[in-house]
């Protein structure tokens, strides 16, 4: 199973059902199987999500990747193409040994000199490509920090900007809009470096609503934001004056780029809904592009679930960090929901990549055991959330969720499950 502590968390039949539904969501984005479904090779014809390319048409084939789990994805591509690959680089938080693609380890969520050096290797490779070459790029969540080539800023300044925006509760769209306009690799720059080669960009979306121009800050996508948009956000979050640049706007750089959405939160929600139906629950989609403050989303979903229903959502909430606790947006969603869980119900909120700020995927809580424990220990869950102490409380409850690190990074997903025999009023 992908959920490592499944049995320990399944302390009631309803909890077990909830964990089985979430397990189905994780299995839908298991990186070991994802590209096996998406990529096929018949002779010299490679088919990617229905798009076919004859490898005989190209002198060289290069593979570049960036973001969480991109190294594992690159390994699957190498397993398919083998020596047909000329060269390649991939930047990830973990390394995998490959023969034809070099795996480079970077830092996340904050950029570092390691990320810049790795990015320069990708840029150097792309600048050598010609019109007779094929570039297969793998774009995953987390690539905004892992892929790093600042224009006029130092690495320390990039770290400062990212840290301030994360703690201020900025949305991923806002953060990535600024990143694009202080960078020489995001916002379509990677496509510019690869021009005039043919580029197939395989995108695993971690962005609410699946705006591919925002996934990893859109290195192969024509950017529709402007430097003026970035400057307005810099003022909004009271950042110090920052020199911004404009992203590539000439459409010729994107004429031979095919951006393909391989998977996203929608796949997880669909798999979870199917599993819920198999277990005898009705399923309903709360949101496929969830956003908002974590401590508000948890209560809202807890109040919205109906008897016998699995209420599902995917997206990314925000947290404003004011205290020194470890927190984590998924943990905040769970703990903030506890006072509002109706009847006999369970909530799980989890990070798809297994890391909710710290090395836990998220948490689980229910309207019976959790409430009883918190009352006995005289713990106010909302006060704990406001003090950024949700990690500490869920640790006491032994209700952290842990997963094997083999899944795609497609944002977060939330399940609120209510007992089929719960006849209490909503």
Q: Supply angle C-alpha 300, 362, 26, rounded to 5.
A: 100
- The overall average pLDDT reported for the chain is 93
Find out whether 89 and 64 touch, Cβ atoms under 8 Å: yes
Q: Mean pLDDT, to the nearest integer, of 317-339?
A: 91
Q: Mean pLDDT, to the nearest integer, of 291-307?
A: 96
pLDDT in tens, 91-131: 999 898 999 999 999 998 888 999 999 999 999 999 999 99
Residue 333 has pLDDT above 90, yes or no: yes
Q: Name the percent of the chain in helix, strand, coil, to the closest 5.
A: 40, 25, 35
The residue with tokens 């995998």 is: 96
Instruction: Point out the domain boundary residue: 230, 247, 263.
Output: 263
**pLDDT for res 36:** 73
Do both 211 and 235 map to the same domain?
Answer: yes
Provide the 3-class DSSP secondary structure of residue 368: coil
Do both 178 and 60 map to the same domain?
Answer: yes
Instruction: Point out the domain boundary residue: 263, 283, 300.
Output: 263
Q: Mean pLDDT, to the nearest integer, of 382-398?
A: 95
Q: Which helix (H) or strand (E) holds 414?
A: strand 412-418
Residue 426 has pLDDT above 60, yes or no: no
For residue 345, which of 265, 414, 272, 273 has the smallest C-alpha distance? 414
Do both 66 and 177 map to the same domain?
Answer: yes
Q: Which residue range forms the structural domain that includes residue 393?
A: 6-29+265-418
Mean pLDDT lowest among 16-25, 193-202, 354-363: 354-363
**pLDDT for res 50:** 85
What pLDDT band is residue 209 in, cutting at 50, 70 and 90?
A: confident
What pLDDT band is residue 424 in, cutting at 50, 70 and 90?
A: low
**pLDDT for res 167:** 85
In angstroms, the CA 75 to CA 99 distance is 9
What pLDDT band is residue 162 in, cutting at 50, 70 and 90?
A: confident
**pLDDT for res 261:** 93
Report the C-alpha dihedral over residues 125, 131, 133, 136, rounded to 10 degrees.
Answer: 70
Q: Residue 160: which residues within 8 A CB-CB, separation 6 or more?
A: none
Return the number of other C-beta atoms located less than 10 Å from residue 4's C-beta.
Answer: 15
Do both 73 and 209 map to the same domain?
Answer: yes
Mean pLDDT lowest among 7-11, 20-24, 66-70, 232-236: 66-70
For residue 189, which of 139, 134, 154 has the smallest C-alpha distance? 139
pLDDT in tens, 308-326: 999 999 998 999 888 887 8
**pLDDT for res 404:** 87
DSSP 111-123: --HHHHHHHHHHH
In angstroms, the CA 415 to CA 313 distance is 7
Do both 120 and 53 map to the same domain?
Answer: yes
**pLDDT for res 84:** 95
Please indicate, yes or no, if residue 312 is contained in any of the structural domains. yes
**pLDDT for res 407:** 82
**pLDDT for res 321:** 85
Residue 327 has pLDDT above 80, yes or no: no
Q: Considering its fold, how many domains does the chain have in total?
A: 2
Instruction: Point out the domain boundary residue: 248, 263, 278.
Output: 263
Please indicate, yes or no, if residue 19 is contained in any of the structural domains. yes
What pLDDT band is residue 138 in, cutting at 50, 70 and 90?
A: very high
Do both 216 and 295 map to the same domain?
Answer: no
Residue 206 has pLDDT above 60, yes or no: yes
Residue-level length of the chain: 426
């Amino acid at each position: 199973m992908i959920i490592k502590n499944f049995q320990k968390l399944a302390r009631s039949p309803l909890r077990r059902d909830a964990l089985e539904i979430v397990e189905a969501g994780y299995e839908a984005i298991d990186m070991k199987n994802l590209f096996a479904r998406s990529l096929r090779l018949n002779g010299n014809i490679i088919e990617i999500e229905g798009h076919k390319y004859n490898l005989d048409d190209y002198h060289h084939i290069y593979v570049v990747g960036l973001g969480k789990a991109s190294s594992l994805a690159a390994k699957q591509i190498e397993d398919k193409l083998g020596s047909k690959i000329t060269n390649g680089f991939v930047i990830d938080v973990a390394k995998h040994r490959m023969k034809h693609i070099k795996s480079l380890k970077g830092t996340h969520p904050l950029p570092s000199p390691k990320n810049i050096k790795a990015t320069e290797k990708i840029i150097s490779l792309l600048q050598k490509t010609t019109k007779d070459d094929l570039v297969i790029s793998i774009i995953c969540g987390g690539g905004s920090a892992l892929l790093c080539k600042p224009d006029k800023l130092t690495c320390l300044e990039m770290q400062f900007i990212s840290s301030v925006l994360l703690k201020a509760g900025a949305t991923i769209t806002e953060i990535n809009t600024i990143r694009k306009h202080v960078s020489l690799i995001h916002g379509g720059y990677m496509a510019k470096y690869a021009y005039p080669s043919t580029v197939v960009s395989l995108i695993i979306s971690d962005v609410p609503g699946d705006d591919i121009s925002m996934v990893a800050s859109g290195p192969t996508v024509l950017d529709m934001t402007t430097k003026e948009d970035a400057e307005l956000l810099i003022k909004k979050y009271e950042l110090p004056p920052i020199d911004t640049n404009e992203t590539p706007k000439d459409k010729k750089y994107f004429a031979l780029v095919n951006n393909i959405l391989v998977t996203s939160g929608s796949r997880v929600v669909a798999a979870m809904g199917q599993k819920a139906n198999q277990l005898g629950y009705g399923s309903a989609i709360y949101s496929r592009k969830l956003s908002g403050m974590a401590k508000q989303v948890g209560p809202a979903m807890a109040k919205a679930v109906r008897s016998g229903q699995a209420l599902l959502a995917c997206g990314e909430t925000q947290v404003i960090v004011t205290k020194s606790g470890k927190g984590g947006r998924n943990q905040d969603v769970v703990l903030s929901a506890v006072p509002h869980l109706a009847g006999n119900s369970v909530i799980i909120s989890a990070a798809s990549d297994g890391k909710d700020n710290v090395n836990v995927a998220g948490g689980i809580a229910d309207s019976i055991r959790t409430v009883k424990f918190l009352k006995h220990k005289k713990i106010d869950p909302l006060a704990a959330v406001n003090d950024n102490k949700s990690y500490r409380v869920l640790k006491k409850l032994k209700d952290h969720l842990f997963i094997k690190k083999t899944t795609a990074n497609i944002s977060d997903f939330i399940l609120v499950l209510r007992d089929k025999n719960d006849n209490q009023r909503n």
